[in-house]
Structures are given as C-alpha cells and as structure tokens.
Structure 1
Amino acid sequence: MSTTTLHTPSGPVTVNKVAHGLMLMTWKAQPNPDEQSFAAIKAGIDSLPPGVKMFLNGGEFYGPNCSTANIEMIARFFEKYPEYADRAFLSVKGGAKADSLVPDGSEENVKRSVNRVLEKLRGKKTLDLFECARVDPNTPLEVSLGALAQLVKEGKIGSIGMSEVKAETLLRGHKVHPITAVEIEVSPWEYGPQQKAVIKAAQENNIAVIAYSPIGRGFLTGQIKSLDDIPEGDFRRMLPRFQPENMATNFAIVEKLQSIAKEKGITSAQLSIAWVSSLGPHVLPLPGSSHIDRTLENVSASKVQFTTEELTKVTEVIENAVFAGTRYPGDDRAMYLWA
C-alpha cells in the first residue's frame, strides 16, 4: 500500500494514501447502528501495515439537525477500541455556528467549536487536526486561524487544516500558521483550474490535499442510475447533478470509466480513487463508506498502479467529459465555496 506524510507541528505522520470519511454514518435522519459503523472503521485500520495510520474525517455538525452525533459516535468507537486510537489520525470539521451550517470564524466561535468537539470526544481520542469547514466572509482569515494557532499552542489540537479554499487563500493562511492539510472536492467529475491550483500550491508548501468525494458522492460507482437509487432523506437528492434531467448526461463518463476499470480488473470506484491519488504524492482521496466491504474496496485502491498508457486514457476521458448541473443548488450555498 502507498502512503503519504503529513507535516504536523509535532513532527511527520505517515498515513495511508486513501483516507476514510465518516460523514454519512451519522448525517441522516437515522444514523447507522454503532455496530455497523465500528466494523467499517476497524476494517479500514486493520488493513494497514504497522506504523501507518488511517486518516479519519468527521465533523462537529455531521448529525441529524447538525448535531454532534458524528463526534459522539467516534468517541464511542475509541472508548470500545482504545487500542485503535494511536492507529488513526483524526481530522474534524467545525467552525460553524452551533447546530448549524452557517460559517462563523470569530475567535469566540472557533474556540467554542473546538472545545465542544473535545468535550464530545471525552478524551477517548486526540483531535489531531481541526479545520473550519468554510471561510467566514465576515471574519478576517487571520482571526480564525489565529484562534486555532493558539489552540495548537495550548495542546488542544495537533494541527490546522483549511477547507474549500482557493490557492491564494491557502497560502495566506499558511503565513498565519503552518497548514497541515487542505480539504477540497476532487474527482473525475470535479477537477478544474481551482483544484489544480490548490494541488500545486499545496505541494510546493508541504501541505497534504484531502480530496473528498473522489467517486462523485457515489455516482461514479455506476450504482446510481436514477433518483430512485438514492434513499429518501439523503442530501444528494437535492444536488443538481443527481436530478433526472442531468443524470443521463452525467452517466456517460461512468460508462467510459467502467470500461477502463474492467480491462484493468478493478472497480470504477477504485479507478476514480486511484486516479485522484495519482495527482500527487501529497494527495489523499477521501471516500466515505459505512460498510466493511466498501471500506476495504476503497482502501485497496491505494495499491492500484497505472501504466503511462492507462493514466493517459483515463485523463483523456476526464478532460473531454461534459457534465450537467452544478456542485450545489442556489447561490446562497455557492457563495461559501472557494473562498
């Protein structure tokens, strides 16, 4: 399995080249049973060689009604399996107003958010990295990151991340305090000038890129062919790219990727994850999964190696693909992207 190095204030940390997103274990009306979620987390960690940690990604608001259900689930996992605490690198998103998705990067709220996460973790796992999920347009970036820098000094968080930012914003933040990782959406259907610029700037400054939704929120697996394939209450039902009028257009790239994957003897999900990973030694695909089999399928993508010819073929498909629909609906949410 391939790995990458995270540069943290306390020293380098080796993590698997494919991370594990925990969001959909709890961000729904009825969170998964602990037994199911725990089994998926354990399977991913158990698949790694000694000395390599699993990058786990959770969120303060990844619960019903933006509650802390996700963090509470993570605490219960490490309470039941304390021996796994040192085998995982925990990254948590926060920085919104309590129980909401509204960005609030004020010093007061950033500290509130971190302290709340620590309270819910109950000392069962260190908070290895914390990032504000969005840049607050009403608060100077220096204020938000300055507050996090103080929390690093106090030992409350191990390192700082940034999320959904442009390359110039990332570099601006890196001047306030060394940034360990930046999280952005990267996949065969989301790879444009902004992603390329962030990936380049991050590599030049020893910052890891946590590439979430590398399989297009599940669409690139080929298992979502209509809105009926998405459960009721699932937030993907509101996303433009999953609407019936856009589905057929968007499925064209899935069929092409499936064809290449079949020739290589892997799944289209593994192909997408491996392609994202190929974008740089510092790029960690972050697929989410709630089941053992899917977790192992995703993690094993870190073993996939492309020949030059294969990589060229996949890249050509991606560069020539045409997609219908935007990432998120409406201008109100779009305003918080790529700050």
Structure 2
Amino acid sequence: MSTTTFFTPTGEVVVNKIGHGLMSMTATATITPDKQCFEAIKAGVDSLPPGVKMFLNAGEFYGPNASPVNLEMLSRFFEKYPDYAEKTFLSVKGGMQAGSLVADGSDENLARSVNTIVEKLRGFKKVDLFQCARVDKKVPVEQSIATLARFVKEGKIGSIGMSEVRAETLLRGHKVHPITTVEIEVSPWEYSQEVRDVINAAKENNIVVVAYSPIGHGFLSGEIRKLEDFAADDRRRMHPRFQPGNLEKNLVIVDQLTAIATAKGITPAQLSIAWVSSLGPHVLPLPGSARTARQLENLAANSVTFTPEELDKVNEVVRNAEPAGTRYPEFLLKDLWA
C-alpha cells in the first residue's frame, strides 16, 4: 500500500496515497443520511494500516445554498467516533463569501471563514489544512496567504493549501508561507500543460498535489453513457462535456480506457485513479463517494501497478485524448487556473 508525506509546520504526516473527497455527501439536492456517510468514512479509515492517516477533503460551502452542512456532518461523525480524529488528516476548503460561491480572499472574510469552520467542527476535530477554494483576483495572493499564516501561528489551522492555481501562483504563495498541498483537477482526460507545470513545481518544493476528480467527475468510470444517466438534480448535467454531441465523442476516451482496464482485471475507475497516482509519489488522487462499496473500490486502486506496456497503452490514450467541451460551465471558467 502506497503512502505520501505531507510537510506541515509541525512535522511530517504520512497519509494514504488515495484520499476521500466528501463533497458528494452533502452538496446535493438530497443530502446523504449520516449513517451512510459515517459508514463510508469509517470503511476507508479502517482499511488502512496503523500509523497511516486518511486524507479527508471537506468544504465550508458543501451544502445546499453553499451552507456548511458538510462540516456539521463531520462534527457529528467525530463526536460519535472520537478515535477517528487522530486517524484522519482533515482539509477544508473555504474562503468564499458566506452562503455563496464567490471567492473573497480579504482579511475579514478569511477570518470569518476560518472561524466558521472551527465553530462548526465544535472541537471534535482540528482543521489540519485550510485552503481557499478559489483565488480572489481582487486580493494579492501574498496577502491572503499571509493572513492564513497568522491563523497557523494562532493554532486555528494546522497548515495551508492552495486550489485551482497555476504553477507561478503556487510559488508566489509558497514564498510567503510553506504550502502543504495544491489541489487541481487531474485525470486521464485532464492532463494539460498547466497540470504538468503544477505537478513539477510541487515536486520541486515538497508540496503534495491533491488531484481531484481523477475519474473525470465520474464519467471515466464507464457508468455514464447518456445525459439521462445523471439524476435530474445532478449538477453535472450543466457540464459541457456531458451534453449531447460532446458526450458521444468523449465516450471514445472512456471505451479506450475501459478496454485496458478490462484486460487488466480492474475497473475503469481504478485504472484512472492508479494512473493519476503513478504521476509521482507526491500526487494524491482524490476520488469522492458517499457509498461504502465505491469508497473501497476506489481505495483498492492503491494496490494497482502497471507494467511498462500497460502504462504505455494508458499514456497513449491520454496523449491523444481531446475531450469535447470545457470541464466546467462557462460561468465557472473564470475562476480556474488563477
């Protein structure tokens, strides 16, 4: 089982090489019941050897109308299972205006965001890492990182991460205060030059790349064949890559990866996660699930290894992949790669 190491202000932390994203538990029209969420989180943590922590990725705004329902769920989890607080490394994304998805990196809003997160967790779990979900282009990144550095010094947060940033922006933040993680989207159909630049810059500076959506927002699992396969209230219905016309073209990529996975005896999702993990010891895939079976399937990708021939086949698909449509709707594109 592979692990990776986070370099935090208080020392090194060893975490499982595959993390667990929690957004899908509460950022939906129908919130997943606590019992199901708790079972999925526990199953993941329980699958790890002693001394290895599970990286959990939460969000202040992962709820209906950007509410902190996700944190409230986690607070109840750690209240019920206090032993799991030390078995997990908790990252929380914040830095948006209260009740919205508008980035606000001002001193006042970052203080509000951090204090809200700490309050919602009710002392049952510390904030091991905080990251602004998006960069506020009205505030110099150096200012926002300096503000967060004060919260590290005060003990409100354990370390600082960055999200959806270019390599040069990551390095600007890292000069102000050591950055522990950088979260970007990485998958076999999302491996642009920007992605490669961030992975390289992170490697040179002992920063872990948290690679979210390694299964292409679920599409690379092979389970989505038409728009109607998404629930009526699924936010992915808005994504251009899943629209009729684009979706059919993108299925070619899915089918190519599925053929390789089938020949290897693993699922397409495991193939995608394992490929992302293979990009470096500092690259941590972050699939998300609210289901125990899917969570364990995702984590099983940690034991997948590729022969040189298999890796060549996957890399050939990646090199030739030209996804039809942007990865997010038009109104969200402006906040990417800040």
Are 1:182 and 2:182 matched, yes or no?
yes
Alignment partners' CA distance in 2, 1:140 and 1:245: 40
Query: In the alignment, what sits opposite 2:196?
Result: 196
Query: In the alignment, what sits opposite 1:101?
Result: 101
Alignment partners' CA distance in 1, 2:185 and 2:323: 16
Query: In the alignment, what sits opposite 2:147?
Result: 147
Query: In the alignment, what sits opposite 1:112?
Result: 112
Alignment partners' CA distance in 2, 1:142 and 1:204: 20
The CA deviation at 1:233 is 1.3
Point out the more displaced range, 254-263 or 180-189. 254-263
Q: SS of 2:171's equivalent?
A: helix
Alignment partners' CA distance in 1, 2:204 and 2:143: 25
**Structure 2 letter corresponding to 1:134:** R
Alignment partners' CA distance in 2, 1:177 and 1:323: 36
Are 1:210 and 2:214 matched, yes or no?
no
Alignment partners' CA distance in 2, 1:259 and 1:245: 23
Are 1:244 and 2:239 matched, yes or no?
no
Alignment partners' CA distance in 2, 1:46 and 1:52: 10
Instruction: Show the 5 A alignment for 1:299-318.
Output: 299-318=299-318
Alignment partners' CA distance in 1, 2:293 and 2:244: 29
1:194-231 CA-partner distances (Å, limit 9, x unpaired): 00000000000000000000000100000011111111
Alignment partners' CA distance in 2, 1:200 and 1:239: 28
Query: In the alignment, what sits opposite 2:4?
Result: 4
Instruction: Show the 5 A alignment for 1:1-339.
Output: 1-330=1-330, 332-339=331-338
1:159-188 CA-partner distances (Å, limit 9, x unpaired): 000000000000000001000000000001
- Asked if structure 2 preserves the Cα contact closer than 8 Å seen for 1:249 and 1:322, the reply is no
* Structure 1 unaligned residues grouped into runs of 5+: none
- Asked if structure 2 preserves the Cα contact closer than 8 Å seen for 1:105 and 1:144, the reply is yes
- Asked if structure 2 preserves the Cα contact closer than 8 Å seen for 1:23 and 1:59, the reply is yes
Q: SS of 2:289's equivalent?
A: coil
1:135-157 CA-partner distances (Å, limit 9, x unpaired): 10101111111110000000000
The CA deviation at 1:281 is 0.4
Alignment partners' CA distance in 1, 2:336 and 2:322: 21
The CA deviation at 1:28 is 1.1
**Structure 1 letter corresponding to 2:76:** R
1:77-128 CA-partner distances (Å, limit 9, x unpaired): 1111111110000000000000100000001101110100000000010100
Alignment partners' CA distance in 2, 1:4 and 1:65: 34
Q: SS of 1:255's equivalent?
A: helix
**Structure 1 letter corresponding to 2:235:** F
Alignment partners' CA distance in 1, 2:150 and 2:88: 24
Q: SS of 1:327's equivalent?
A: coil
1:281-323 CA-partner distances (Å, limit 9, x unpaired): 0000000011111000001111111111111110001111221
The share of aligned pairs that are identical, in percent, is: 67
Point out the more displaced range, 152-161 or 313-322. 313-322
Alignment partners' CA distance in 2, 1:221 and 1:326: 19
Q: SS of 1:244's equivalent?
A: coil
The CA deviation at 1:327 is 1.1
Superposition CA RMSD, Å: 0.6
- Give the paired residue count: 338
Q: SS of 2:174's equivalent?
A: helix
**Structure 1 letter corresponding to 2:243:** Q
Q: SS of 1:217's equivalent?
A: coil
Alignment partners' CA distance in 2, 1:297 and 1:200: 29
* TM-score, with structure 2 as normaliser: 0.99
Q: SS of 2:96's equivalent?
A: coil
**Structure 1 letter corresponding to 2:333:** A
**Structure 1 letter corresponding to 2:163:** S
Point out the more displaced range, 138-147 or 211-220. 138-147
**Structure 2 letter corresponding to 1:246:** N
* Structure 2 unaligned residues grouped into runs of 5+: none
Point out the more displaced range, 110-119 or 318-327. 318-327
Alignment partners' CA distance in 2, 1:161 and 1:240: 28
The CA deviation at 1:325 is 0.5
The CA deviation at 1:244 is 1.4
**Structure 2 letter corresponding to 1:250:** N
